[in-house]
């Protein structure tokens, strides 16, 4: 039953889905439990991706054509933002502001703590969200079911990648205030195994709807991009922050869509 508790705790931490009352009391809380819940981040991807896929399919069925595909992509993205509270998008914006705003490590970390969005963050969000909608619209040419599978697979697989940063990089954020405070300590190898158990079926699902070469390219590209992000954070910040985890998820998600849509 600990696995269920950890999943529900991840649901509380990484989404806006309420887990309250007797259920919250049954789940319980401790820093150790919250750290263990990170193993279920790809499981949260199943939920968020599933909701986004349903919205995309529903809108796409009612609004045909290129404009309809763009509307479906936009509304499915709105659904994910509402479901997660823009948790990962906020990280992307903060990282863009911090790394773009200063070459000095301490100053970059200070900028990333600022809740206000700057020019680099705004540009990064506009480009990322615009690219996401455009790529999903491109994939629509292969059928709504194909897009739905791509959305689910991307949300699951992209949420696996930040866990490797937690495992192998030191935490350099403000442990007294950061949203990643429970993740400051490296997660265990067992937690990574649980995360992989969540992820493997998503890759299998992608293989059922997409060309195997494209799926393989998507997985490889995501691993390489996550490695590049880890190297960037290690070089510029000497470790990871909570914002860095969110930015990694967003960049990896875009990478998956790009690989799947390439020459679609």
H-only helix segments in 169-211: 189-209
pLDDT (tens digit per residue) in 187-240: 888 899 999 999 999 999 999 999 999 999 999 999 999 999 999 999 999 999
Cβ atoms of 41 and 197 closer than 8 Å: no
Residue 89 half-sphere exposure toward CB, CA atoms < 13 A: 20
Position 29 in a domain: no
Position 17 in a domain: no
Structurally, the chain folds into a number of domains equal to: 1
Position 13 in a domain: no
Say whether pLDDT at 127 is over 90: yes
- What pLDDT does 241 receive? 94
pTM above 0.85?
yes
- What pLDDT does 183 receive? 62
DSSP-assigned letter for residue 140: G
Q: 4 Cβ partners below 8 Å, 6+ apart?
A: none
pLDDT (tens digit per residue) in 146-174: 999 999 999 999 999 999 999 999 999 76
Query: Where residue 24 falls among pLDDT bands split at 50, 70, 90?
Result: confident
Q: What share of the chain in percent tops pLDDT 90?
A: 79
Determine the average pLDDT of the residues in 117-134: 96
Taking all residues of the chain, what is their mean pLDDT, rounded to a whole number?
92
Position 3 in a domain: no
What's the burial of 189, exposed, middle or buried (CB within 10 Å: 0-12/13-18/19+)?
Answer: exposed
Say whether pLDDT at 131 is over 70: yes
Position 12 in a domain: no
Say whether pLDDT at 1 is over 80: no
Say whether pLDDT at 181 is over 60: no
Say whether pLDDT at 93 is over 80: yes
Position 221 in a domain: yes
DSSP structure string for 216-260: HHHHHHHHHHHHHHHHHHHHHTSSB-HHHHHHHHHHHHHHHHHHH
Position 5 in a domain: no
231 lies in which domain range? 41-261
Range scoring the smallest mean pLDDT among 41-50, 63-72, 184-193: 184-193
Q: What distance lies between CA 76 and its chain's CA centroid?
A: 15
């Amino acid at each position: 039953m600990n696995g269920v508790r950890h999943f529900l705790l991840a649901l509380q931490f990484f989404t806006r889905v309420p887990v309250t009352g007797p259920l919250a009391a049954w789940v319980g809380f401790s820093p150790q439990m919250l750290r263990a819940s990170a193993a279920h981040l790809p499981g949260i991807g199943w939920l968020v991706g599933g909701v986004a896929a349903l919205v995309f399919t529903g809108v796409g069925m009612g609004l045909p054509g290129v404009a309809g595909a763009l509307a479906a992509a936009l509304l499915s993205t709105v659904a994910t933002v509402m479901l997660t509270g823009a948790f990962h998008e906020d990280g992307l914006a903060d990282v863009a502001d911090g790394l773009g705003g200063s070459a000095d490590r301490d100053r970059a970390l200070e900028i990333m703590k600022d809740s206000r969005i700057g020019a680099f963050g705004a540009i990064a969000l506009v480009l990322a969200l615009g690219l996401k909608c455009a790529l999903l619209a491109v994939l629509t040419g292969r059928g709504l079911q194909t897009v739905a599978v791509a959305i689910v697979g991307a949300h699951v697989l992209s949420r696996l990648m930040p866990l490797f940063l937690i495992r192998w990089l030191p935490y350099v954020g403000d442990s007294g205030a950061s949203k990643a405070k429970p993740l400051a300590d490296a997660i265990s190898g067992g937690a990574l195994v649980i995360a992989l158990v969540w992820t493997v079926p998503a890759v299998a699902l992608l293989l059922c709807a997409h060309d195997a070469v494209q799926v393989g390219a998507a997985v490889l590209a995501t691993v390489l991009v996550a490695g590049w992000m880890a190297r960037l954070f290690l070089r510029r910040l000497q470790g990871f922050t909570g914002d860095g985890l969110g930015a990694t998820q967003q960049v990896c998600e875009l990478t998956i869509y790009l690989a799947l849509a390439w020459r679609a």
